[in-house]
Amino acid sequence: EAGVAQSPRYKIIEKRQSVAFWCNPISGHATLYWYQQILGQGPKLLIQFQNNGVVDDSQLPKDRFSAERLKGVDSTLKIQPAKLEDSAVYLCASSLDRDHEQYFGPGTRLTVT
Amino acid sequence: AQKVTQAQTEISVVEKEDVTLDCVYETRDTTYYLFWYKQPPSGELVFLIRRNSFDEQNEISGRYSWNFQKSTSSFNFTITASQVVDSAVYFCALTPYGGSQGNLIFGKGTKLSVKP
């Protein structure tokens, strides 16, 4: 069974530029999550989707971050404009539903200069 | 408020030693799940175990074992006869049952280095 796929794996941008990350969850998984992991810390949830609806986006900085999950499968996370403090690894995870364990992708390491 | 504390930032052991990673949590929820994840140098978080708050039985899986004690709000993880491949950052996490379920609250992680 294929795992959670993410791209790109690495991205370097200048502050004030925009960037987008893509995630393809495990087939059949209804719930999709985006996490931000700053160096030396545990991941922090940004947004959670159930199919194509948002369940929890309380920790998403909505002035600059946006995410969508069209058709309830793939998802994209966008940052516009980026700030230096956005430098982190962005992890995507999926689960069968909210009652099951989450499986994580390899992450996208973002560096903002 | 919900919080997970992993007091050990880094641990270094020699291969074949046993090692215990501590996890203490805080929650007002009466039902919740606890997790352990492993993050090797490749970066991908690997699911190890999920335990719900109703089940205080200890769990053993090969060289791994988990000790859940509700009375002390702890969910410790022991690796027996450690191996070099166990070197990674280990995260303990908590999520409420129902409501905000799925919002994993992670600790800051414990970096384990196993030397040959």
- Chain B CB contacts of A51 under 8 Å are none
Q: How many residues are there in chain B?
A: 116
Return the residue matching tokens 């970066």: B43
Chain A closest CA to B46's CA: distance in Å?
A: 7
Q: Which amino acid is at B95?
A: T
Q: What is the pLDDT of residue B36?
A: 96
| CB-facing half-sphere around the CA of B82: CA atoms within 13 A | 22
B101 three-state secondary structure? coil
Chain B closest CA to A28's CA: distance in Å?
A: 17
Structure tokens at A78: 């966008």
Question: Given a cut of 70, is residue B98 above it in pLDDT?
Answer: no
Residues in contact with A58: Cβ distance below 8 Å, sequence separation at least 6, in sequence order: none
The model's confidence at residue B102, banded by pLDDT at 50, 70 and 90, is confident
Under a CB-based contact definition with an 8 Å cutoff, are residues B102 and B35 in contact? no
Question: If you measure CA to CA, which chain B residue comes closest to A96?
Answer: B102
Under a CB-based contact definition with an 8 Å cutoff, are residues B93 and B106 in contact? yes
**Surface of B (51-90) touching A: CB under 8 A:** none
Structure tokens at A80: 């516009």
Return the residue matching tokens 């384990």: B112
Long-range contacts of B41-48 (CB under 8 A, 24+ apart): B41/B87, B41/B88, B42/A106, B43/A89, B43/A106, B43/A107, B43/A109, B44/A104, B44/A105, B44/A106, B44/A107, B45/A43, B45/A91, B45/A93, B45/A104, B45/B91, B46/A104, B47/A101, B47/A102, B47/A103, B47/A104, B48/B77
Question: Given a cut of 70, is residue B99 above it in pLDDT?
Answer: no
Question: Given a cut of 70, is residue A69 above it in pLDDT?
Answer: yes
Structure tokens at A32: 């999709």
Cis check for the bond before A81: say yes or no (omega within 30 of 0): yes
Please report, rounded to a whole number, the percentage of residues in chain B having pLDDT higher than 90: 71
pLDDT tens column, A85-102: 999 999 999 999 877 888
pLDDT tens column, A51-66: 989 999 999 999 999 9
pLDDT tens column, B72-90: 999 999 999 999 999 999 9
Strand (E) or helix (H) holding B33: strand B32-39
Which of B103, B108, B111 to substitute to test the interface with A, most A CBs within 10 Å? B103
Q: What is the pLDDT of residue B101?
A: 64
The model's confidence at residue B49, banded by pLDDT at 50, 70 and 90, is very high
Of A55, A99, A102, Cβ closest to residue B104: A102
Q: What is the pLDDT of residue A36?
A: 97
Q: Average pLDDT of B64-68?
A: 95
Q: Average pLDDT of B35-64?
A: 90
